[in-house]
Amino acid sequence: MRPLLSVRDIKRHYQVRVPGGFFGRDALLKAVDGLSFDINRGETLGLVGESGCGKSTTARLVMGHIPLTAGSVAFDGQPVTARHDSDWRAMRRRMQMVYQDTLGALDRRLTISEQIGEPFAIHEPVMTAGQRHERALSLMDSVGLRADMARRFPHELSGGQRQRVVIARALALSPDLLVCDEPVSALDVSIQAQVLNLLDDLREQTGFAALFISHDLKVVRQMSDRVAVMYLGKIVETGAPEAVFKRAQHPYTKALISAIPTPRNRGRRERIVLEGDPPSPVDVPPGCAFHTRCPLAMTQCRLDTPLLSGDGDHLVACHAIHQSAQSAPLAAE
Amino acid sequence: MTIDTGNLNPTSQVSRPSGGSFFTSKGRYRAFFETWPPIVLIALFFIGLAIFVVATAPLIAPYDFMAMDLRDRLTPPALFGGTWAHPLGTDELGRDLLSRLIISIRVSMMIAFLSTLIAGTLGITLGFLAAYFRGRVEQLIMMLIDAQASMPFMIIALAVLAFLGNSLFLFIVLMGFYGWERIARIARGLAIAATEQGYATSVRDLGASPMRIYGRHILPNIASTLIVSMTLNFPEVILLESGLSFLGLGVQPPMTSLGNMVGYGRDYIQSAPWIMLVPSAAIVLTTLSISIVGDWMRDRFDPTLR
């Protein structure tokens, strides 16, 4: 079966000017550098990584906000481009986005019901204003907003309520794919749980596929059918959440997971502390981008870029893991 | 017991009406005048008066503005030796100055209003086109803006009126080209800034057409700034119209306008100065009031200044 979203080796590079010489020198910032993944119908892929690793750029490339430097994004067989023509607009019926900054994403001069009804005004011009209002009210009900909020303005709502408005608007036309870019990072923990449960419920009801982006490992783990861990514009490990979180193989994933605070096992679990900051995406080290901070770094890591490989669904991009996997059968003999 | 029960006694509170409350009558007045400064109130009152005059001009004018009375020529205003039959005096043909002033305010204000509307529409359209297309189109529009800004508008107006003759319609259209470049610049800058903001991006993500994004979302969000810049354009058009009419190129007799009155009154500046001073005062007061209100509106609408 053809995957709903097929992302093949996408790259997004920016020409930037960095200090050096009299006028600075040109450099290439590799925000996203060769990313491939598929999302099947009804499946949720969680994309996790620290800030600056290219998660949001990936979301914008998938949505076709910004042009690709290389690679291809296909949505249900159709290529997604950054040309904002009528085809692109028609595709919005089927792919929608949920944002982190909800106050910015809503027009502060329109009421809630007008904004939730706006997708109908755009894509179904035959609908009357009254019908749009009806639909908006039923959508508000399905995301748990009271009907008396219909006439309110975005700044009169709380952050969690605004995120519900954004979700209701995104789901108005029952899209097949929902790209969620840090949907709960701006919310309190208790509100986070409510919004995540809401998203989960809605997914069960309508069956949309999702690209779920977050820096919060627990959130990603709760929401995803599959997880991809990103480091400096590349996927370093991908697989089912249980496999990635319980049997992490890549040293970066291990370090990330060891940083999750837990009430249990305090002091007992080994805390892996990475040295230094992630390298700037302008000067990505050659070979494996992680070798500067990696406890397992070898000579090969400085020379060759490791490829994602492994058995079954659980793929890792790490020379050390691959070597030990090759030598393990030998040792067993 | 050291608690002073006097404060709990209702009668003692009545005896001290302002007893420590911040909400004294003085505070209320001060708060009122801080939001509505007196000068702004006066300016608003004057604008209201001008709008009333514009709306009802033929009804409130005591005489026909063209009616001559050669026996009553050059009568000074009442209180300056004239009579209350002509409160602001008469001109060299015996026409009642008050009636002429009322009609002139109407004509000048109408020209300024329609011209500013044209300039606003033109400026906003071109500014939005530049913001939407960027690239070549934007460069072309910016070049037009720079060309317009680098030429004295008075010279252009003189040339156009000299070659094409004069009619009220042509005059209004010509005045409509005054100030569009500033509005276009502001509209372009604000629209570019707005397209980078979340609400415009998210509406585009819903699949909205550019017309919808710009017309329904960006325009209402930046309207306050544009309205203020148009308000500031308004008095300048009145002054420009006055200047051109003074030179004899604007509104042609027997029609009258403020500048036209000043222009024909200058011959009598020594013998009958009121012919010129009355419309001049009207020009000064109107433009000043609109400028004051425009400035005040800018301060009120700009959230960063609040």
Beta carbons of B205 and A96 less than 8 Å apart:
yes
Q: State the average pLDDT over residues B252-280.
A: 86
Fold observed for domain B59-301: MetI-like fold (1.10.3720)
For B192, phi and psi rounded to 5 degrees?
Answer: -65, -45
CB contact under 8 A, B209 and A122: yes
**ipTM greater than cut 0.95:** no
A120 touching B, CB under 8 A?
no
pLDDT of residue B182: 92
The predicted structure's pLDDT at residue A119 = 92
Q: What is the pLDDT of residue A226?
A: 92
pLDDT at res. A304 = 85
Measured at the alpha carbon of residue A161, what is the angle toward residues A159 and A163, in degrees to the nearest 5? 70
Q: Which of B66-80, B199-213, B291-305 has the lowest mean pLDDT?
A: B291-305
B35 vs B2, residue with greater confidence: B35
| Residue A284 C-alpha, separation from nearest chain B C-alpha, in angstroms | 29
Task: Enumerate domains of chain A plus CATH numbers.
Answer: 5-94+173-332 (3.40.50.300)
C-alpha–C-alpha distance, residues B296 and B294, integer Å:
5
Position A52 scores a pLDDT of 81
In contact, B69 and B99? CB cutoff 8 Å: no
Across B42-56, B82-96, B125-139, least confident range: B82-96
Over range B74-79, report the average pLDDT. 80
Instruction: Provide the pLDDT for residue B253.
Output: 80
Strand order in the sheet with A234-239: A95-98, A177-181, A209-214, A44-48, A226-231, A234-239, A315-316
Does the beta carbon of A24 lie under 8 angstroms from any beta carbon of chain B?
Answer: no
For helices B219-246 and B258-265, angle between their N-to-C axes, nearest 10 degrees: 20
**Tens-digit pLDDT string for chain A (333 aa):** 788 999 999 999 988 888 877 777 888 888 888 889 999 998 999 999 888 888 889 999 999 888 999 899 999 888 888 888 888 998 999 999 998 888 888 988 888 999 999 999 999 888 898 999 999 999 999 898 998 888 888 888 888 899 999 999 999 988 999 999 988 888 888 888 888 999 999 998 888 999 999 988 888 888 899 999 998 888 999 999 888 888 888 888 888 888 877 776 655 667 777 777 777 878 778 888 888 888 888 888 888 888 888 877 888 888 888 887 776 555 444
Buried b (16+ CB within 10 A) or exposed e, A28-58: ebbbbbebebebbeebbbbbbbbebbbbbbb
- Cross-chain CB nearest to A118 (options B201, B206, B209): B206
- A109 in contact with chain B, both atoms CB, cutoff 8 A: yes
To the nearest whole Å, the CA of B34 is away from the closest chain A CA by: 26
Lowest mean pLDDT among A55-64, A209-218, B205-214, B261-270: B261-270
Q: What is the pLDDT of residue B243?
A: 86
| Domains in chain B: boundaries | 59-301
Please check the confidence at residue B302 and state whether its pLDDT lies above 70.
no
| Number of continuous H segments (helices) and E segments (strands) in chain B | 13, 0
